[in-house]
Structures are given as structure tokens and as C-alpha cells.
Amino acid sequence: MISKSGVYVNWEKVLRHKLEHRDKIRLGNQSLIFELLKDKDEEIFDGVERRKTARITPAMTLKFLVYSKDKLEEFSGIVKDISIDGIRIETERELSKGSIIDAGISCDKFPLLEVIAQVIWTQSKQSDSKVFYQVGLQFIEMDNNSRNILRDYLVKCVS
């Protein structure tokens, strides 16, 4: 099949490209996400196994929108660690595995980064009679400029 408008991988037009986990592919008006699977279990790699994450200090905030009960609600969480593929946050909001959220990551080190992410795991913990949720998010979509800003930030954090 040949696409009249071309093939794009991660927002760049390509003729040939070796796909990597979570690559975004666009063929005409169709979008796909390439998922690399483990051997026998057929589980999706979550990014954490493949890349180092950076612990965040000072605190970074993730503000996100959640669609629930036919309305849009805004919530926030504290970023615990981050990689180019995903983020772990602590929030007072329980999120369901598989949920898609529209989020903005902000701190004083870079401008607001807008991402679309999917909840890949969640667990609760209790502290001082209050329940908090640790949530693992995998980035699904991020523009190239935001990806470059985050990559530069991570290089400085891990160096």
C-alpha cells in the first residue's frame, strides 16, 4: 500500500525507519502506535525497563484533565520521577488503568510541556489518614519541541 500523503513516524516524514517501542506512525489520516512486546507474556514494555528515570528535585507539577461522568475535571499531581517515555506521579485522584489523560508538565526549569498519556499502573498508599495514589503514566503523544526540551532536561539531571 502506498500513501499519497506519505508516511510519518513521530511527526517526521520517512521513506525507511526502524521502529522503536511507542513510535507514532501516520499513514494518510490513520494513526498507529507501535508497541514492542515481551517474549512469552505478550505484555507491553512500560518504558521504565528500557530507560533510566530522573528523580525530580525541586518538585515538578503535572496538571491533567480527566473525563468522568460526562464532564471534564482538572486535577494535579506531584512528579516523583520522569523519563522520555513516561512519568510517575503522586495524586489524590484515583485513576483507572488504561485511562487516557491530557496533561501539562510544569516547573521552573522549562516551559509547560503538553502531553497525552495513558495510565499503565496505579497503587494506593495511606499517609496520615489520607489516601494518595502512585500512578505510572506512559506518554502517547508529545510534539518534537516538547520532547527535545524534556530530553535536554533529563540529560542535565542524569549527568
pLDDT digits (tens, 9 = 90+) for 51-109: 455 566 666 788 887 766 667 778 888 888 888 888 889 998 888 888 888 888 887 77
State whether 28 and 66 are in the same domain.
no
pTM: 0.63
Residues 76 and 2 in one domain: no
Q: 21 and 64 share a domain?
A: no
CA distance readout (Å), 24 to 70, 114, 134: 28, 16, 27
| C-alpha span between 38 and 18 (Å, rounded) | 18
Instruction: Tell me the β-bridge partners of 36.
Output: none
- Mark whether 77 and 152 lie in a shared domain: yes
pLDDT in tens, 14-44: 888 888 777 788 877 777 777 766 554 444 4
Domain identity same for 111 and 68: yes
Judgement on whether residues 82 and 29 belong to the same structural domain of the protein: no
Backbone dihedral region for residue 26 (phi beyond 0: left; psi -120 to 50: alpha; all else: beta):
beta
Q: Tell me which of 13 and 68 has the higher pLDDT.
A: 13
Q: What confidence score (pLDDT) does residue 133 get? A: 92
Q: 35 and 69: one domain?
A: no
Instruction: Name the 3-class secondary structure at 22.
Output: coil
Query: CA 158, CA 144: separation in Å to the nearest integer?
Result: 21
Are 36 and 75 in a shared domain? no
Do residues 33 and 101 share a domain?
no
Distance, first Cα to last Cα, the chain: 44
The pLDDT assigned to 25 comes to: 83
Can the peptide bond before residue 111 be classed as cis, meaning omega within 30 degrees of 0?
Answer: no
Same domain flag for 38 and 70: no
Q: How many domains does the chain have?
A: 2
3-state secondary structure 27-61: ECCEEEECCCECCCCCCECCCCCCCCCEECCCCCE
Give yes or no: residues 99 and 140 share one domain.
Answer: yes
Name which residue leads in pLDDT, 150 or 66. 150
Range of the domain at 71: 54-158
The CATH number of whichever domain residue 91 belongs to comes to: 2.40.10.220
Mean pLDDT of 130-148: 89
Q: Say if residue 45's pLDDT is above 70.
A: no
**Residue that the C-alpha cell 500512578 belongs to:** 135
Contact status, residue 96 vs residue 119, Cβ threshold 8 Å: yes
The pLDDT score that the predictor gives to residue 17 is 81
Residue type, 74: E
pLDDT of residue 2: 57
Which residues, in sequence order, are CB contacts of 148 under 8 Å at separation 6+?
A: none
Same domain, 97 and 141: yes
Query: Per-residue pLDDT averaged across 111-127, rounded?
Result: 88
Q: What is the mean pLDDT of residues 111-120?
A: 88
